[in-house]
Structure 1
């Protein structure tokens, strides 16, 4: 890992958390669809990142959102769950030739089918954890919140990939 790797990911961390706190906190679809864009930080990390570092980053990003949302660890728990499951999902989706050491979870590198499968599985797991930890019971309305929030977050994640992660940079 070089210094540009660290600087780029620190900037992404600050950007995604700031977007979550300043913009997406107030942007809700039909009072049920929430966008948790901060998880894009975890989704866009390199594929071969150390698992311990990934879990630590998951806790840090979730805890930072918890501090601003006053949610007592719900986002930290859901983010650590996402970070824990990410390597397992990546193993399930491994291409026949495997991943290269420099690969990142990127729409332009891995393709639409791979990226959408990867992102939506992890987004559903994260959102289910957030909403079920929030109410500590099962309600049908929670399933609607999970579905709408997953779609909302997934669309925003894909838009971010298309806007900020160009195909030219992916080929380097």
Structure 2
């Protein structure tokens, strides 16, 4: 197993463990939930095969569903993120294109690019997750508040994790 695959396997195990053991019980004001496991899909390489990306999205979502007893809700939301990710990367392609060493992470792509990328995909994940969980559009005001608070909470935690654990690239922070 090469080091590249090993790094992503370790990242998968750590993010899933962090989600199940810590983030499951961490809620801000009964509104903001942190779903840090989505970071696994967000941080995968830019040039990953689309089918593999969907499969990994399903595996990560169903893993969380097994521990949360949510019957596929997380799997559906995570597969949606995996499906939307290539389109989002295409929309955000820099003028010069992506470099071979670029990863969709804060240290290699910069603040503006990363925040646009992550906030849109996290919002899509949380929107899908919470409305599937409710089984409809009931309590739309409170649900939208949960979506926004959870997107901001998850995004903030993912930024902190990147600043702690991702190495800074030669291009640095932009």
- TM-score, length-normalised on structure 1? 0.95
Deviation track 1:61-101 (CA, whole Å, cap 9, x = no partner) reads 00000000000000000000000000000000000011123
Could you list the per-position Cα deviations for residues 91-140 of structure 1 after superposition, in whole angstroms to 9, with x for gaps in the alignment? 00000011123321121111100000000000000000000000122221
CA contact (8 A) 1:46 1:102 kept: no
Partner-residue secondary structure (3-state), 1:104? coil
1:155 aligns with 2:156: yes
Question: Displacement of 1:171 after TM fit?
Answer: 3.0
Between the aligned partners of 2:80 and 2:166, the Cα distance in structure 1 is: 25
Superposed structure 1 runs of 4+ greater than 2 Å apart: none
- Give ranges in structure 2 of 5+ residues lacking alignment: none
Q: CA deviation at 1:46?
A: 0.6
2-structure distance, mates of 1:155, 1:83: 20
Pair 1:164 & 2:165 matched: yes
- Residue 47 of structure 2 aligns to a residue whose secondary structure is coil
Partner deviation per Cα, 1:27-68 (whole Å, 9 max, x = no partner):
000011100000011111111111011000000000000000
Deviation sequence 1:120-162 (CA, Å, 0-9, x none): 0000000000000001222211000001000100000110111
Taking structure 2 as the reference length, the TM-score comes to 0.94
Q: For residue 134 of structure 2, what is the aligned residue in structure 1?
A: 135
Q: How many residue pairs end up in the alignment?
A: 169
Corresponding residue for residue 77 of structure 1: 76
Residue equivalent to 2:24:
25
Cα root mean square deviation, aligned = 1.1
After TM superposition, list the pairs within 5 Å mapping 1:74-153 onto structure 2.
74-138=73-137, 139-153=140-154
**1:16 alignment partner in structure 2:** 15
